[in-house]
Chain A
């Protein structure tokens, strides 16, 4: 589903060169729930952004669903993001000026041939899936952190993407809320077969996924499947 080959990311300023990622080779098969762990600044979010075509690597090749994303134009990248990928961010990134329903509908706005009523119908289904169907007319500022993250998940899944990339989805939530969000993601993976890559700081959450890789100083230092988690 996702294949990264020899990925390198270097941030260059006038005087400093910071290597965020180096020699990253990673393959995420279809339907896998992968979690990425590592200390702050080790490059895990950068990696997730590169996977999601939100950022470009300084070196290396990204393949999504067999397509090599090399020299793709802005419009083509936007199309792939829209069709194949859904994002969940730590700080939710909901549009404050839009209602819950409008926020969830957002990805469908950029798909042709979907009417307003169809968008609204699908958004309601997505909100029902995350248990928020009673809050469609609310605005993000009227919701709790957990509710906001559920809206963000509904937005990520409305377009039925094959991949969901979640950057510390439980990072701003208490343990109960975090558990709820994690369960939604696990259900999505198990029931719909959605490929999920999640960056997390929470060992307990990571242990619920089927594969865990660890990063340190921009490099992958371990890759473990669920059965040998205890060895990691």
Chain B
């Protein structure tokens, strides 16, 4: 019976090519867009190298000052603030203070190379999981001594040294020479807190250390001992901020700075005015957009399926006349729809892989390494199956309940 149903499903697909094309296009295109968007989302917010332990990581990237005249001043915090108040928090396992990346020039064989440079401490390397291809990170002593050493990424090594080894060699960045001590795999630009082409000791920028202003050009990366400590860290941070606010020389000033996950930080800055945690709201918006996005092709699919099944009402009538029960009829259409959806899913999978590869190769997102998320693919496929079943089986169910004679007449009643 199953073999026969599959045979019919295949023949129906081949004979009704236009319908097959529209259905397969709808399913595979929807899945493809869903996969690409979620892959991007995962790339920005999910656990990825070097921020693999996302459930233990918090980032501080904004210090917002609200003056009593209503004006606000917002930007990355200063080294002074982070070093004095955040590095000294007791709950975290480790805190790194690192600069925002700056684009600087370098020259290779008289060719200008724009590189993104980040100043950081040795805690940065302890907290994050970089994939080292060569050498090592700089340690405490090199940081304390403000040694001119650098860790570079794979792309910079390739541009500078071709396929040869880089460790032990010198690169000149912004007219300063650094000795390369390590090479790491490229980090995508979307990982703003970790990304750079060249990482050097933060102590090389000691002129920033004593600027007492709260705003500057630095981030803090905080690692909790365990994920359960995250709320405690946030609480300690809030208390610390209250103290900083009280001790601030300008009276009536309100300070807003939070240790957030990447997603929380995004939601807070774009939806919460830099103050409120709007993660749930962001999820709501994303779910709504995804739902609306899937709704359109789903309605289309339902429409096509209904007309297709109406077209086949005579077949349903014949099958019933020769002994098919309503349940058997539903079973047949169920199998046909699952077959079609799985075929669409397979196509969607291939399309997604192609598009992701295209994005990776296009250089649209620096060092992007978008990959298929099988979990998301599974969910997407399941959703398509649900839509396929609803759209195919519901009309089949309605038709199967008709008296055979009505189905033979075309389901007019």
Contacts and interface: CB of A to CB of B under 8 A. Distances in A.
Pairing of A with B: yes
Interface of A: 49, 52, 54-56, 74-75, 78-79, 81-83, 86-87, 89, 93-98, 102, 106-107, 109-111, 116, 155, 159
B11 A106 contact: no
Nearest to A165: B321
A81 B323 contact: yes
A82 B323 contact: yes
Q: Give the one of B11, B318, B320 with max A CB within 10 A.
A: B318
B408 A54 contact: yes
Contacts, number: 77
B399 to A, nearest CB: 13
B322 A87 contact: yes
20 contacts: A49-B405, A54-B317, A54-B405, A54-B408, A55-B404, A74-B327, A78-B323, A78-B325, A81-B320, A81-B322, A83-B323, A93-B318, A95-B315, A96-B315, A102-B7, A107-B322, A107-B323, A109-B1, A109-B324, A159-B322
Given A54-B408, A97-B8, A106 B403 contact: no
A89 B328 contact: no
A202 B286 CA distance: 68
Contacts of A75: 325, 327
Contacts of A49: 405
Contacts of B314: 93
Nearest to A77: B325
A106 B8 contact: no
A59 to B, nearest CB: 16
Contacts of B12: 97
B318 A111 contact: no
B17 to A, nearest CB: 13
A89 B407 CA distance: 14
B375 interface: no
Given A55-B403, A93-B314, A106 B325 contact: no
B15 interface: yes
Contacts of A98: 8, 11
Interface residues of B, number: 26
Q: Give the one of A55, A109, A116 with max B CB within 10 A.
A: A109
Given A74-B326, A107-B323, A109-B1, A93 B8 contact: no
A109 B4 contact: yes
Interface in B1-22: 1, 3-4, 7-8, 11-12, 15
Contacts of B322: 81-82, 86-87, 106-107, 110, 155, 159
B129 to A, nearest CB: 56
B311 to A, nearest CB: 10
A54 B404 CA distance: 5
Nearest to B403: A55
B90 to A, nearest CB: 71
B191 interface: no
A232 B138 CA distance: 113
Interface of B: 1, 3-4, 7-8, 11-12, 15, 314-315, 317-328, 403-405, 408
A52 B408 CA distance: 13
Contacts of B324: 78, 109-110
A107 B323 CA distance: 6
B318 A52 contact: no
B319 A54 contact: no
Contacts of A79: 323, 325
Contacts of B325: 74-75, 78-79, 110
A217 to B, nearest CB: 20
Contacts of B8: 97-98
The 5 closest A-B pairs by CB, nearest first: A82-B323, A110-B323, A78-B325, A107-B322, A54-B404
B323 A89 contact: no
A78 B320 contact: yes
Nearest to A55: B405
Contacts of B1: 109
A75 B331 CA distance: 14
A35 to B, nearest CB: 20
Contacts of A159: 322-323
Nearest to B321: A87
A102 B8 CA distance: 10
B394 to A, nearest CB: 18
A168 to B, nearest CB: 13
A56 B403 CA distance: 8
A81 B321 contact: yes
Given A97-B15, A110-B328, A155-B322, A116 B3 contact: yes
Contacts of B7: 102
A97 to B, nearest CB: 5
Q: Give the one of A79, A95, A111 with max B CB within 10 A.
A: A95
Contacts of B326: 74, 78
Contacts of A94: 318
Contacts of B318: 93-95, 106
Given A87-B321, A93-B317, A110-B319, 8 more contacts: A54-B403, A75-B325, A81-B320, A89-B408, A93-B314, A98-B8, A98-B11, A116-B3
B321 A54 contact: yes
A74 B319 CA distance: 13
A57 to B, nearest CB: 11
A169 to B, nearest CB: 14
A110 B329 CA distance: 11
Nearest to B4: A109
A152 B212 CA distance: 94
